[in-house]
Amino acid sequence: MSLENLSCQKSFGGWHKRYKHRSAVLDCEMVFAVYLPPQAEQGGTLPVLYWLSGLTCTDENFMQKAGAQRLAAELGLIIVAPDTSPRGPQVPADPDGAWDFGLGAGFYLNATQAPWAQHYRMHDYVVHELPQLIEAHFPASQARSISGHSMGGHGALVCALRNPGRYRAVSAFSPISHPMDCPWGEKAFSRYLGEERAKWREWDATVLLETAGERLPLLIDQGDRDDFLETQLKPEALAQAAKAAGHPITLRLQPGYDHSYYFIASFIDDHLRHHAQALK
Amino acid sequence: MSLENLSCQKSFGGWHKRYKHRSAVLDCEMVFAVYLPPQAEQGGTLPVLYWLSGLTCTDENFMQKAGAQRLAAELGLIIVAPDTSPRGPQVPADPDGAWDFGLGAGFYLNATQAPWAQHYRMHDYVVHELPQLIEAHFPASQARSISGHSMGGHGALVCALRNPGRYRAVSAFSPISHPMDCPWGEKAFSRYLGEERAKWREWDATVLLETAGERLPLLIDQGDRDDFLETQLKPEALAQAAKAAGHPITLRLQPGYDHSYYFIASFIDDHLRHHAQALK
């Protein structure tokens, strides 16, 4: 597994680096970004926070806009930001050119339906292949945690809930909390997974909470002026499921905030501290 | 002078807002961004930091990437980010479509040559018209300071040096320090100001330092892995002029940093504190 370095920029005494590599899982070339805090040059290994971005994003949005590096440098956290779908000319896109399915919209699941199943396996990429790569090439320990925004918030919750023991902490900003029951999720799941709704349950955080194998506390921030709150995100479904299952959850409805990175930047420090505490 | 609000996003308890207005000075419609910290809702007035961006930027780059809102919210600083040139279909652009002249490259001066002189008057817009607008429409005091990056670093230095008493503090990241003596500056000045180089001296920070009417301390950060350092930026010329004139300057050469917003974000807090201290 070789990595090609694309860029390297000093940031808060550490380094923001972008890499290209061949993904066996996704059967295409992928780009990811990693933030290495200053402590990465001190000889030991550091815990890793995986950040999953939302629809239309790449590895760049979070690294440019969230302002996470300042505190990550202080806490000694590596941050890894993968892309949001497989990429490349051979990867099928939405036939209508929509932005909410296909390229930029992998939904962090393993597709089972043609023509998507060959490349759209973002769950296995994020949970298995990418950490292997990170732990082989960087001073990264196996202490992992995961967070994300919107589609990536869904991804973070699902990756953690499906893989007990693999992450020490999980959090999300404005997650698509119950994708089986919203237009974005219904569109994506019906194509990636087929029309049989029973199969969708394995990829829905609200459903997965019912039978969660571990009680990883969920920290969720959600803006109350988010245009997608009622139609797509539905955090109350997740909160109800958590309550019913006795699963620890902190759902903070942040007054006045929207769906943007201005919102994420405002609360990213709380999330970094939540992760760092569990990772240390 | 009326303002049309384009967007409004909560950020660190305050608000990031974008506005469109008709500029009489530039004879076109302009967009600017303002960050209003939480203290802006408490009834008094607050000091204002003007941020001038670099070539190709708009009001958005700094607000999205510098991570300044966190500390501005703590310090109670309003931040205003204008665009980098006049805009619109009636504004002449570089005839070859270049990115380093014309649209996105107003160089914060008042052009004297046709066809540029009608619209390209960014100095007067930034120094006079925009603050009037800000102080009329927002809870802004007349305590002003100014900073910027690259072309905007040049702009900040020149605006401060040409207008003694108008700003309480000035700083710059990677400024074009001696534009008369670099390709970007020579191209811009020869077109905006004509071929007579004596006229250029009024818009060159290194030259203006010789006769500066006040001794505003200059804080300048410069990355030593900045690709433009030797050919375009030349901070050593500014430092030498400051030394010769006995003008206070702190020029920090930051090892490993480049010309990007990853660099700016890493040191923006120091600049905000520098400004806040002078503004209070």
The whole-angstrom distance between A269's CA and the closest CA on chain B is 10
- Our answer to whether residue B21 is catalytic in this structure is no
d(CA A42, CA A76): 11
Query: How many other β-carbons are positioned within 10 Å of the β-carbon of residue B11?
Result: 26
Using the beta-carbon criterion (under 8 Å), do A266 and B64 form an inter-chain contact? no
Q: Residue A11 has which token pair?
A: 């940031």
- Which residue stretches of chain A have pLDDT < 70? none
Candidates B17, B79, B173, B262, partner chain A, best to mutate (most A CBs within 10 A): B262
Share of chain B above pLDDT 90, in %: 98
| B265: nearest CB among A67, A257, A261 | A67
- Which residue stretches of chain B have pLDDT < 70? none
| A257: nearest CB among B10, B67, B223 | B10
Strands ordered across the beta sheet of B140-148: B4-11, B14-23, B28-36, B78-82, B46-52, B140-148, B169-173, B218-223, B249-254
* Cβ-based contacts of B221 with chain A (< 8 Å): none
* Domain map (residue ranges) of chain A: 4-279
Query: Which residues of A fall below an 8 Å CB-CB distance to B?
Result: 9-13, 16, 64-65, 67, 69-70, 223, 225, 254, 256-258, 260-263, 265-266
pLDDT at residue number B213: 85
Using the beta-carbon criterion (under 8 Å), do A10 and B67 form an inter-chain contact? no
Contact call for residues B219 and B185 (beta carbons, < 8 A): no
User: B4-279 belongs to which CATH class?
Assistant: alpha beta
Contact call for residues A172 and A239 (beta carbons, < 8 A): no
What is the interface pTM, i.e. ipTM, of the complex? 0.96
Using the beta-carbon criterion (under 8 Å), do A258 and B67 form an inter-chain contact? no
Distances (CA, A) of A25 to A29, A124, A140, B25, B53: 10, 7, 21, 58, 42
* Cβ-based contacts of A12 with chain B (< 8 Å): 265-266
* Cβ-based contacts of B12 with chain A (< 8 Å): 265-266
- CA of A17: which chain B residue's CA is closest? B262
Using the beta-carbon criterion (under 8 Å), do B65 and A70 form an inter-chain contact? no
Using the beta-carbon criterion (under 8 Å), do B265 and A69 form an inter-chain contact? yes
The pTM for the full model equals 0.97
Q: In whole numbers, what is the pLDDT of chain B averaged over residues?
A: 97
Q: Residues A17-28: pLDDT tens digits?
A: 999 999 999 999
Query: What sign results for the dihedral spanned by CA atoms B100, B105, B111, B115?
Result: positive
* Cβ-based contacts of B225 with chain A (< 8 Å): 10
Share of chain B above pLDDT 70, in %: 100
Q: Residue B159 has which token pair?
A: 């605006």
- Which of B36, B11, B5, B70 is CA-nearest to residue B268? B70
Residue whose entry in the numeric block shows the structure tokens 């818009």? B203
pLDDT at residue number A213: 85
The whole-angstrom distance between A79's CA and the closest CA on chain B is 15
Catalytic residues of A: 150, 226, 259
Q: Residues B232-262: pLDDT tens digits?
A: 999 999 999 999 999 999 999 999 999 999 9
SS (H, E, C) chain B: CCCEEEEEEEECCEEEEEEEEEECCCCEEEEEEEEECHHHHCCCCEEEEEEECCCCCCCHHHHHHCCCHHHHHHHCCEEEEECCCCCCCCCCCCCCCCCCCECCECCCCECCCCCCCCCCEHHHHHHHHHHHHHHHHCCEEEEEEEEEECHHHHHHHHHHHHCCCCCCEEEEECCCCCHHHCHHHHHHHHHHCCCCHHHHHHHCHHHHHHHCCCCCCEEEEEECCCCCHHHHHCHHHHHHHHHHHCCCEEEEEECCCCCCHHHHHHHHHHHHHHHHHHHC
pLDDT at residue number A217: 92
d(CA B141, CA B135): 7
The whole-angstrom distance between B77's CA and the closest CA on chain A is 16
